[in-house]
């Protein structure tokens, strides 16, 4: 018997065996037996080297032809068995093709994320860059470099959660209470002009209520250059309020105290729920505070080796959840973090 005949024999045995298979799960056994790495056809191809040169070419060509015949036959058989299986399961009632399809759940952005992006877009349109920073922060950046030394009473405004510092360091670490530490980190690395906004999560150890969470977002802003005055601060923040709330909302600036600005202000917007008459949401004041702001304190500029005689700047820090509450008429900030899909699907 020549090699050629044995290749033909393999083909007829293989096709015979394939014809007898009636279960799709058995196809792989068949594939391994004839086409696998140690399968019968592969063995013939491997043994070609041992044949006399004149037989080698002929048997080789024949074996390759048989290989593609078998591969094609396998593909066809698989399709036939698959169809038969589908037919059986339809007839057996396991698959009801008349059932309406299941609607896939589509994800969406959390309302806070949507508002953070909208706020950043408003400032980017005014020439600010977006930067981000660490949530676990050194005491130095969160307090000291911001002109809040140890034992300064202003630390009481930002009670926080302290972290055990890494063993090699004695310096205290904490969960940042505001995004203001990024003012220092940005100025340490760059020279004026600086125009950045910093979105990110912040943490405070505080009792929660309708407008206070212990974990929430802030967006910080910082602009430092020559000739920046309080007029630039007001102009920028008015423009921001117009872009986010439209022209009809009222805006109020009042003096406020933050150790890292001088002078400092608080910016508030008239209460969406009562139209300014006073209610539970605005603590009967008619106004909801949305941000703190002010002119960067010369002491802060000195900390990063900026000369306060040459450079001035303004900074602000706002709460996106409070802004989302205003925009969408949400009356309790705790809803943002309750993971209630009935709430989240509204945005």
Q: CA 128 → CA 23, 80, 251, distances in Å?
A: 66, 63, 22
Nearer to ligand FA5, 3 or 218 (CB): 218
Options 261, 265, 300, 304, the catalytic residue: 261
Residue 341 φ then ψ, to 5°? -65, -30
Nearer to ligand FA5, 74 or 261 (CB): 261
Q: Is 287 designated active site?
A: no
Kindly state whether residue 199 participates in binding ligand FA5, applying the rule CB under 6 A.
no
Q: Is 152 designated active site?
A: no
Q: Is 178 designated active site?
A: yes
Helices and strands (DSSP H and E) totals, the chain: 11, 10
Report the C-alpha dihedral over residues 253, 258, 263, 264, rounded to 10 degrees.
Answer: -10
Location of structure tokens 């002078």:
263
Interface size with ligand FA5, residues (CB under 6 A):
26
Q: Is 131 designated active site?
A: no
Nearer to ligand FA5, 200 or 317 (CB): 317
Q: Which stretch binds ligand FA5 (CB under 6 A): 22-30, 66-74, 99-107, 256-264?
A: 256-264
Q: Which of residues 135-194 bind ligand FA5 (CB under 6 A)?
A: 178, 180
Nearer to ligand FA5, 11 or 160 (CB): 160
224 contacts 313 by C-beta, under 8 angstroms = yes
**What are the contacts of 70-73 at 24+ separation with CB within 8 A?**
70/11, 70/14, 70/15, 70/18, 70/34, 70/35, 70/41, 71/35, 73/14, 73/15, 73/18
The residue number whose beta carbon is nearest to ligand FA5 equals 319
Q: Which of residues 85-114 bind ligand FA5 (CB under 6 A)?
A: none
The residues with which 313 forms a beta bridge, in sequence order, are 224
Query: Could you list the active site residues?
Result: 158, 178, 204, 218, 261, 315
- Residues interacting with ligand FA5, by CB under 6 A? 178, 180, 204, 206, 212-213, 216, 218, 220, 258, 261, 264, 289-294, 315-319, 321-322, 333
């Amino acid at each position: 018997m020549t090699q050629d005949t044995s290749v033909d024999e393999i083909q007829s045995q293989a096709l015979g065996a394939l014809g007898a298979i009636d279960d799709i799960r058995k196809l792989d056994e068949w594939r391994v037996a004839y086409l696998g790495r140690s399968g019968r056809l592969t063995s013939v191809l491997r043994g070609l080297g041992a044949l006399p040169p004149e037989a080698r070419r002929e048997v080789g060509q024949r074996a390759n032809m048989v290989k593609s015949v078998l591969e094609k036959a396998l593909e066809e058989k698989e399709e036939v068995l698959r169809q038969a299986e589908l037919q059986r399961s339809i007839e057996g009632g396991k698959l009801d093709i008349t059932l309406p399809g299941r609607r896939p759940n589509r994800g969406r952005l959390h309302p806070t994320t949507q508002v953070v992006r909208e706020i950043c877009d408003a400032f980017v349109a005014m020439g600010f860059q977006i930067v981000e920073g660490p949530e676990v922060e050194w005491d130095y950046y969160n307090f000291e470099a911001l002109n809040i030394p140890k034992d300064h009473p202003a630390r009481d405004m930002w009670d926080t959660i302290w972290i055990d510092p890494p063993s090699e360091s004695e310096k205290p670490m904490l969960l940042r209470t505001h995004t203001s530490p990024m003012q220092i980190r940005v100025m340490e690395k760059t020279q004026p002009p600086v125009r950045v906004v910093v979105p990110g999560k912040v943490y405070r150890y505080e009792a929660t209520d309708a407008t206070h969470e212990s974990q929430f977002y802030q967006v910080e802003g910082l602009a430092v250059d020559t000739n920046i005055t309080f007029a630039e601060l007001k102009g920028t923040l008015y423009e921001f309020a117009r872009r986010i709330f439209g022209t009809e909302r009222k805006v109020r600036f009042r003096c406020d105290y933050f150790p890292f600005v001088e002078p400092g202000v608080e910016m508030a917007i008239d209460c969406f729920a009562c139209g300014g008459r006073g209610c539970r949401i605005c603590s009967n004041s008619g106004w909801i505070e949305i941000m703190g702001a002010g002119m960067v304190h010369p002491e802060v500029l000195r900390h990063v080796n900026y000369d306060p005689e040459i450079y001035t700047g303004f900074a602000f820090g706002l709460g996106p959840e409070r802004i989302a509450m205003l925009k969408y008429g949400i009356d309790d900030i705790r809803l943002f973090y309750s993971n209630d899909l009935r709430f989240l699907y509204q945005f």
